[in-house]
Structure 1
């Protein structure tokens, strides 16, 4: 009977996205970060796909059994091993591990691929893809890990965005698509996202335009707007607005801080603009939201 990967890993994760209140992202994936001394995991059949990202800069020996066949190899930094749901898999590693393990619910990923990317995933998805090198996909995984670890990267907006970046990259580059599917751009990388995010963070209290974000990413405005929406599922300005509102909600934890001050700090023209935008996104005014929060 298939089990969950987390049930048998020989150490507790240093970081675990399941512990965070992020239902949309957690509904598609779980992110766990492990460092474990040399050990082994018995052969088991898992009910999830799991994607293992190697962060260890030291090349080291790893043995991986896949449906009874042994792979004995040297594991290099930025290499990824994907084990599909339903495959009997076991592991033994001979050096301390430094890995991110991302587990994916097959049914939900299939639905995401169809509704968001127009892709029909093959039932044998990932079975013929035991190992590959992808520094950019690993970089996206590191951003997800860091979102769990540090306060300034704990934003639900950022985690949701990077979850989408990771999934879109994985499925576009390695998923099997229908012959009639149109190839979506995969040129919006995790590094592009980092530059855009850093720009938004630095200029949160200022006007931000699509042209500015496109320039930061090194793209034309029209191309940037297209690949941003294809990858993250929202327009650049929708993302910026969601980020402004999220930061405002965090600032509202200080009950003594005036709403007008929060409005200006988050880049709204005035408190009236803040109130309109907040109500449109959250469903109630900032004053009502603050009053309803438990003290």
Structure 2
């Protein structure tokens, strides 16, 4: 690179991207975010240590990357100037990509600190470097797309998400489904939140809602309403309770709400149902 080298940096959607030249041979950093450093030079006699692990020495080749966990430390020494593209990605950004792409927000990145070569990551880094240096119209959109692709690739290939197929992760285990439906049957007349049910299943609300609907054909809220309507139907046939009493006993906020939901579900008003079938 020329002596007039100018570092370039930008921040887009929870990701900071920097193309820089390290002239200080020593590095000792701890960052609050995930850090991916892609090397653009062959560096001889480099050494580094990751979060207190034993020191490693060797040659850092072009295209090799370091992936560092959030809030971890890396120390190192590179005797020659080194050009890098450095991505710092917030945990919230990776969780968002995991949730919207894989319907899962529980994962671990494999970040042992050992240099590795991933041709896709190197290709992304080269493209980002070129966009930063070109400073052309549309560059920020290109970089946003590239960093999104990078985040998804890290989750696909360098995280715990790859251990299960997408279809496996979408399924609600039978014992969890029984646990959830039993809980609803016993508490349908109370206020039940999506977060409460998701916690019972040990899932995020978004992921749980998708899995529950796949297993039952109904969203959690629809399933709860179905149980309330079934209760009202039984009580209409077997008791003389008023509609107001039944609506409150079933967990509805008002008689009018119960009547509306009942007619949408059954096709008759509660009074018509009682008169017709009792």
TM-score range, shorter chain: 0.5 to 0.7
Is the alpha carbon distance of 1:118 and 1:130 closer, same or farther for their aligned partners in structure 2, counting shifts above 3 Å?
A: farther
Contact 2:43 2:60 in 1 (8 A): yes
SS at structure 1 position matched to 2:120: helix
* Alpha-carbon shift at residue 112 of structure 1 (Å): 1.5
* Alpha-carbon shift at residue 118 of structure 1 (Å): 3.0
Paired residues, number: 162
Match of 2:121 in 1: 137
Is the alpha carbon distance of 1:47 and 1:174 closer, same or farther for their aligned partners in structure 2, counting shifts above 3 Å?
A: same
Q: What RMSD over aligned residues (CA atoms) do the two structures have, in Å?
A: 2.4
Match of 1:109 in 2: 94
- Is residue 177 of structure 1 aligned with residue 161 of structure 2? yes
Match of 2:18 in 1: 32
1:10-46 Cα deviation digits (max 9, x unpaired): xx9700013xxxxxxx12311001112251123x432
Matches within 5 A, 1:119-134: 119-123=104-108, 125-128=109-112, 130-134=114-118
Distance 1:92 1:17 in 2: 26
Match of 1:14 in 2: 7
SS at structure 2 position matched to 1:94: coil
Contact 1:119 1:178 in 2 (8 A): no
Match of 2:152 in 1: 168
Match of 2:63 in 1: 78
Distance 2:106 2:75 in 1: 25
Structure 1 residue runs without a partner (length 5+): 1-11, 19-25, 184-295
Matches within 5 A, 1:1-295: 14-18=7-11, 26-42=12-28, 44-56=29-41, 58-69=42-53, 70-123=55-108, 125-128=109-112, 130-152=114-136, 154-177=138-161, 179-182=163-166
Structure 2 residue runs without a partner (length 5+): 168-278
* Alpha-carbon shift at residue 178 of structure 1 (Å): 6.8
TM-score by length of 2: 0.52
Distance 1:150 1:84 in 2: 30
1:146-192 Cα deviation digits (max 9, x unpaired): 22221446433322221222222222111211754328xxxxxxxxx
Contact 2:48 2:56 in 1 (8 A): yes
